[in-house]
Amino acid sequence: MADAAVDGTRRVLVAADKFKGSLTAVEVAERVTAGLRRVVPDLQVEALPVADGGDGTVAAAVAAGFERRETRVAGPLGDAVTAAYALREGTAVVEMAEASGLQRLPDGVLAPLTASTYGSGELLRAALDAGARTIVFGVGGSATTDGGAGMLAALGARFLDAAGAPVAPGGGGLAALASADLSGLDPRLSEVELVLASDVDNPLTGPKGAPAVYGPQKGATPEDVTALDAALAHFAKVLEQTEGVGARAAEYAASPGAGAAGGIGFGAMLLGARFRPGIEVMLDVLGFAPALERAELVITGEGSLDEQTLHGKAPAGVAAAARAAGKEVVAVCGRLALPAETLGRAGIRRAYPLTDVEPDVAKCIADAGPILERVAEGIARDFVA
């Protein structure tokens, strides 16, 4: 055991993401803390739930002390939903999935061609109305592939067909786009710092673009993917012929992050957003550095530790920052699909999957909380007691 604290025990920081479909990041921290303290009752544990910009980002910000704000906005199919954002001292954390995420669709209903990001634009406007000077725009988990057109429309842009009528919502409607007018965009957008926080670096279109890579997850057939890719390419071409920021549309469309969340990254860039890896942004916003300084052992994790984890997901970001600070890191997860050597290169000394305690995956999902507590007991015995 390295670097024991003055009182003989170690200070532990729990900085894990959600176990998707089982536990929120807040619940993961609570369960890990409970398991640790069952073995070491007086253990100093600091919980800092984390997120990488996707769903769960607002909850992580609220757990870190931000105020939760709610507003009514349009869901991806146009029906009204209550969406939340987080606010603290002029900084807002806005999560597009709150308004335009897959979880906002009725059960079993997917709408790859018609789902709109209009509500995400309304959510950004609510943050502006609340006086935000910096907006961290976390994108991921979207139901949409509209290039951010709906979001832009909610903020004052106009997208018209050849007859001068607004195009239909969703990526499919952009095929009929004849003209774009960005002159009506909310002027406050030029006065705020807008940060696009995402864990993907895809361009807008092409083989690695939003429709091809993520469209099938949203119900897009191969024919839909082809139609959406063409529609988004047409959207960018029309914008390129538009005065003002639209003139940079081709540059933005090819930029890393433009394809994030069905292309809303592209729309955000038109608003002046700066792209940054989501976990880096969120660690800054959540106050991870001072929490890390206080800790001697860091416990991170997410539902599945796999190859995707290594490409911008929360545990990789936490481990990289902890390793740079000389802190020891272990991870908890539902499922482990990485060998020990790979974990080591990522800065994670050891991973503790729920399946080590309960081999039945269905039971792990159903009873994730109690099983995670037992896993945390093992960490306490191995690294703390």
pLDDT score of 9: 60
Furthest C-alpha separation in the chain:
75
User: First CA to last CA across the chain, in angstroms?
Assistant: 9
User: What are the tens digits of pLDDT across the range 157-183?
Assistant: 999 999 999 999 999 999 999 999 999
User: Average of pLDDT values for 295-305?
Assistant: 96
Average pLDDT for the chain: 95
- 143 has pLDDT over 80: yes
CATH superfamily, domain at 12-48+287-384:
Glycerate kinase; domain 1 (3.40.50.10350)
For 73-126, the pLDDT digits (tens) are 999 999 999 999 999 999 999 999 999 999 999 887 999 999 999 999 999 999
CA distance 283 to 277: 10
Q: Once rounded to an integer, what is the mean pLDDT over residues 309-335?
A: 95
Q: Is the pLDDT of residue 291 over 80?
A: yes
pLDDT band at residue 1, thresholds of 50, 70 and 90?
A: very low
Confidence category of residue 374, pLDDT binned at 50, 70, 90: very high
pLDDT value at 257 more than 90: yes
pLDDT of residue 44: 96
pLDDT at 176: 98
Instruction: Give me the mean pLDDT over the 12-34 stretch.
Output: 96
Structure tokens at 169: 């919502």
- pLDDT of 199 reads 87
- For tokens 């009752």, the residue is 41
Q: Summarize pLDDT for 232-243 with one digit per residue, the tens.
A: 999 999 999 988
- pLDDT tops 80 at residue 306: yes
- When pLDDT is cut at 50, 70 and 90, the band that residue 3 belongs to is very low
pLDDT tops 50 at residue 134: yes
Instruction: Indicate the domain borders of the chain.
Output: 12-48+287-384, 57-279
**CA 310 vs CA 18, 26, 88, 298: distances in Å:** 16, 22, 30, 17
> Which amino acid is present at 260?
A
| Overall pTM surpassing 0.75 (yes/no) | yes
Distances (CA, A) of 367 to 181, 305, 333: 52, 19, 13
Tokens of 289: 């550095």
In this prediction, what percent of the chain has a pLDDT beyond 90? Answer: 91
pLDDT score of 4 more than 70: no
Q: What share of the chain is helix, strand, coil (3-state, %, to 5)?
A: 45, 20, 35
Q: Are 146 and 113 in contact (CB under 8 A)?
A: no
The DSSP-derived string for 318-353 is: HHHHHHHTT-EEEEEEEEE-S-HHHHHHTT-SEEEE
Homologous superfamily (CATH) for 57-279: Glycerate kinase, domain 2 (3.90.1510.10)
**Predicted confidence (pLDDT) at residue 284 exceeds the cutoff of 70:** yes
**Could you report the per-residue pLDDT of 203-212, keeping only the tens digit for each?**
999 999 999 9
Residue 242, judged by CB atoms within 10 A of its CB (0-12, 13-18, 19+), counts as middle
- Give the pLDDT confidence score for residue 6 in this predicted structure: 42
The reply to whether domains 12-48+287-384 and 57-279 share a CATH topology is no
Q: Which range is least confidently modeled, 1-5, 209-213, 287-291, 347-351?
A: 1-5
DSSP helix/strand/coil, 273: coil
246 pLDDT tier (thresholds 50, 70, 90): confident
| CB within 8 Å of 189: residues ≥ 6 apart | 128, 155, 271, 272
- pLDDT of 316 above 80: yes
Distance CA 320, CA 289 (A): 12
d(CA 335, CA 191): 44
Q: Given this model, what pLDDT does residue 244 score? A: 80
Residue 12 pLDDT > 70, yes or no? yes
Pick the closest to residue 118 from 74, 161, 156, 83 (CA basis): 74
Q: CA-based Rg of the chain, rounded to a whole angstrom?
A: 22
Name the CA dihedral angle for 93, 200, 273, 54, rounded to a multiple of 10 degrees.
Answer: -20
Residue 376 has pLDDT above 60, yes or no: yes
